[in-house]
Amino acid sequence: MKTIIGIDLGGTNVRVAKVTDSGEVLQELKSPSYGLEGPEKVVPNIISLIKQIDGYKDCIGVGIGVPGPVDTVNKVMKLSSNLTGFTDYPMAKMIEEATGLPTFLDNDANCAGLAEAIIGAGKLYPIVYYTTVSTGIGGALIVNGKLVSGKSGYAGEVGNLIVDPYREPFNNLNPGASESEASGRAITRKGQAIFGDKIESAKDVFDLYVQGDEEAKKLVDQVTTDLAVMYSHIAHIVDPHIFVIGGGVMKSKDIWLPIMQEKFKKLVHSGMRDVIFTEAECSEPGILGAAMLPISNGL
Amino acid sequence: MKTIIGIDLGGTNVRVAKVTDSGEVLQELKSPSYGLEGPEKVVPNIISLIKQIDGYKDCIGVGIGVPGPVDTVNKVMKLSSNLTGFTDYPMAKMIEEATGLPTFLDNDANCAGLAEAIIGAGKLYPIVYYTTVSTGIGGALIVNGKLVSGKSGYAGEVGNLIVDPYREPFNNLNPGASESEASGRAITRKGQAIFGDKIESAKDVFDLYVQGDEEAKKLVDQVTTDLAVMYSHIAHIVDPHIFVIGGGVMKSKDIWLPIMQEKFKKLVHSGMRDVIFTEAECSEPGILGAAMLPISNGL
């Protein structure tokens, strides 16, 4: 049995865990991350937490999930809006030097996808495409248990996929980007534009749909079409064995997922229609996926 | 030095070659394929050709490129419009039994992409996305020298990617599918709709563009936008290190490729804009890529 140190580093908190290669958490520590106080404060705190893990030196390596794109070759973040000063900062190298453990870095969506591919809903399948339909939309490609992060860590940036080029752009994304049209935030925004403040989340829109509201039906029809186009893009480019979907919008999956799948089938070749769509099942995909990074990298 | 039998099986001809692992063709035989006469005629002919190759028994394996989607696990074609009776036919198994050599099957676009990734324009890069912009549009994903063919061989079916959902559908593809909008056949069709019979190929449209024709400018503007959207889809989903582009439309690359690349840069995140677009360089990608299949599969 291998053990690995998995680290889920966010702007507010950091969690450090000792995890087995089958995904069992043996020990977990949590602390403020001091994410806005700069790496000089954040990194020594992480190193101190690692050293508090029993037998940390016997672990095969350290994996860190971070919120933002990562250059996985040079092991640095390329953009760090929630972690001040981390762009190009050699955190992984410093942790390697302080602990003697090989250290790997990837973004949190990639980590969540890796967890699902190795120990979660995708574990039996060679090609897994993970997507999270949450406040935003992100994703990850995992082939034979290894993350395909891309040239600069942008594989899985499916929130910027164009589903309809004639829509208005939002938040520096493309016009008609999937995240602007079908994320939790987008569904809420569109719901509020129709129903006003009684819509507080995507779930409120789906509840109105269930009650038979005609406007809600039109909105769900548009959102499911947009998601079907997004998944058809992914299917034609990598033809995964399974789509694993996480994120809060999956709370309403019984409403939208079957409609979306029917539309998806009309947008792909007949031999592609039986691809599986299933819900993510890891309870802590961030930290488990971070712990799987050394394994994904061949350790 | 490893040697491999590579086979390029088309509806009209079949070529069988002995190839080194660095892509040198040592011996090559060509024959009619008898593609419309059924596998009972086609397969014994191929086996006979293999046995005419000097020292075929010392090769590490056989790779076959075929025109259509392939189930690479069961090594059978899933659709064979140019090869009568080949859907689910156990050609690979029969060749294995007759020659004693492990035999692998994949579609011809995947083979061409594999050749480019291992010995062609993409050979220095971990993630290669090959596309052919020819009569149709196809593609292939190669990660660390291994083809990612997909669940049912549909990875790389980028000709069916929607670039604009409001266009008219053609040939059972999606409305606004890239192949219907920006392939050689599509550019010719659109050119003929404007200029009539004086357009015989995509090149004629590009020539009119160079002469400053306003209608040709509008058409090239639309085609380059559509291709930029297609490549932005691929980039956000797999973030390749390099796009290798083959196919006849590349004859006019000096005209359209720089325009397309500028549009692409506006459709992706800033860290993705430096991805390389380059022309395919293998002279015989079909047979060379077929020969690389056993290597891609771990031999």
pLDDT score of B81: 76
CATH of region B3-113+284-296: 3.30.420.40
Which chain A residues touch B268 with a CB distance below 8 Å? 154, 160
Q: Quick one: how far is CA B3 from the chain centroid? A: 23
Q: What are phi and psi of B134, to 5 degrees?
A: -130, -145
- The long-range contacts involving B186-191, CB below 8 angstroms and separated by at least 24 positions, are B186/B223, B187/B219, B187/B223, B187/B249, B190/B219, B190/B222, B190/B223, B191/B216, B191/B219
Q: What are B's interface residues with A at a Cβ cutoff of 8 A?
A: 69, 78-79, 127, 139, 141, 143, 148-158, 160-166, 174, 229, 232-241, 267-269, 271-272, 275
Candidates B154, B273, B274, B277: best to mutate against A (most CBs of A within 10 A) is: B154
Query: Using the beta-carbon criterion (under 8 Å), do B151 and A239 form an inter-chain contact?
Result: yes
Residue entry with tokens 């953009």: A79
Candidates A238, A273, A276: best to mutate against B (most CBs of B within 10 A) is: A238
Task: Give the pair of three-digit tokens for residue B290.
Answer: 């077929």
Candidates B164, B172, B236, B265: best to mutate against A (most CBs of A within 10 A) is: B236
pLDDT score of B20: 96
Residue in chain A closest to B169 (alpha carbons) equals A267
Q: Percentage of chain A surpassing pLDDT 70? A: 100
- Out of B155, B160, B165, the one facing A164 most closely (by C-beta) is B165
**pLDDT averaged over every residue in chain B:** 95
pLDDT score of B32: 96
Query: Using the beta-carbon criterion (under 8 Å), do B151 and A233 form an inter-chain contact?
Result: no
**Distance between CA atoms of A230 and A182, rounded to whole angstroms?**
10
Q: Percentage of chain A surpassing pLDDT 90? A: 89
Average pLDDT of span A43-66: 97
Query: Using the beta-carbon criterion (under 8 Å), do B162 and A272 form an inter-chain contact?
Result: no
pLDDT at B71 over 90: no
**Distance between CA atoms of B43 and B67, rounded to whole angstroms?**
15
Q: What is the pLDDT of residues A126-171, one digit of tens each?
A: 999 999 999 999 999 999 999 999 998 899 999 999 999 999 998 8
Residue in chain B closest to A172 (alpha carbons) equals B269
| Sign, CA torsion A100/A105/A109/A114 | negative
**pLDDT averaged over every residue in chain A:** 95
| Sign, CA torsion B102/B105/B108/B112 | negative
Strands B3-9, A276-279: pairing is unpaired
pLDDT at A192 over 80: yes
pLDDT score of B44: 97
Q: Residue A28: pLDDT band by 50, 70, 90 thresholds?
A: very high
Give the architecture (CATH level 2) of A124-279.
Answer: 2-Layer Sandwich (3.30)
Alpha carbons within 13 angstroms on the beta-carbon side of residue B170 total 16
Which chain B residues touch A236 with a CB distance below 8 Å? 154, 156-158, 160-161
Average pLDDT of span B172-189: 96
pLDDT at B89 over 80: yes
The CA radius of gyration of chain B, in Å to the nearest whole number, is 20
Task: Give the pair of three-digit tokens for residue B99.
Answer: 């020659």
Query: Using the beta-carbon criterion (under 8 Å), do B151 and A275 form an inter-chain contact?
Result: yes
**Distance between CA atoms of B288 and B22, rounded to whole angstroms?**
10
Q: What is the pLDDT of residues A231-259, one digit of tens each?
A: 999 999 999 999 999 999 999 999 999 99
Query: Using the beta-carbon criterion (under 8 Å), do B234 and A234 form an inter-chain contact?
Result: no
Query: Using the beta-carbon criterion (under 8 Å), do B154 and A79 form an inter-chain contact?
Result: no
Tell the burial category of A10 from Cβ atoms under 10 Å away from its Cβ (0-12, 13-18, 19+).
middle
DSSP string, chain B: --EEEEEEE-SSEEEEEEEETTS-EEEEEEEE--TTS-HHHHHHHHHHHHHTSTTGGGSS-EEEEESS-EETTTTEES--TTSTT-BT--HHHHHHHHH-S-EEEEEHHHHHHHHHHHHSTTTT-SEEEEEEESSSEEEEEEETTEEE--TTS-TT-GGG-BS-TTSPP-TTSPTTBHHHHHSHHHHHHHHHHHHGGG--SHHHHHHHHHTT-HHHHHHHHHHHHHHHHHHHHHHHHH--SEEEEESGGGGGHHHHHHHHHHHHHHTS-GGGTT-EEEE---SSHHHHHHHHHHHHTT-
Which chain A residues touch B271 with a CB distance below 8 Å? 69, 78-79, 152-154
Size of interface A-B (CB pairs under 8 A): 137
Query: Using the beta-carbon criterion (under 8 Å), do B141 and A232 form an inter-chain contact?
Result: no
Candidates A125, A233, A237, A243: best to mutate against B (most CBs of B within 10 A) is: A237
Average pLDDT of span A216-230: 98
Query: Using the beta-carbon criterion (under 8 Å), do B229 and A165 form an inter-chain contact?
Result: yes
Average pLDDT of span B263-278: 95
Average pLDDT of span A37-51: 96
Lowest mean pLDDT of A4-13, A156-165, B66-75, B131-140, name the range. B66-75
pLDDT at A80 over 90: no
- Out of B229, B241, B275, the one facing A162 most closely (by C-beta) is B229
Q: Residue B171: pLDDT band by 50, 70, 90 thresholds?
A: confident
Distance from CA of A233 to the nearest CA of B (A): 6
Query: Using the beta-carbon criterion (under 8 Å), do B164 and A160 form an inter-chain contact?
Result: no
Q: Are A163 and A178 in contact (CB under 8 A)?
A: yes
pLDDT at B69 over 90: no
Average pLDDT of span B179-189: 97
Residue in chain B closest to A140 (alpha carbons) equals B237
Query: Using the beta-carbon criterion (under 8 Å), do B236 and A271 form an inter-chain contact?
Result: no
| CATH 3.30.420.40 domain position(s) in chain A | 3-113+284-296, 124-279
**Distance between CA atoms of A260 and A7, rounded to whole angstroms?**
35
- Out of B141, B165, B166, the one facing A238 most closely (by C-beta) is B141
pLDDT at B172 over 90: no
Average pLDDT of span B160-171: 94
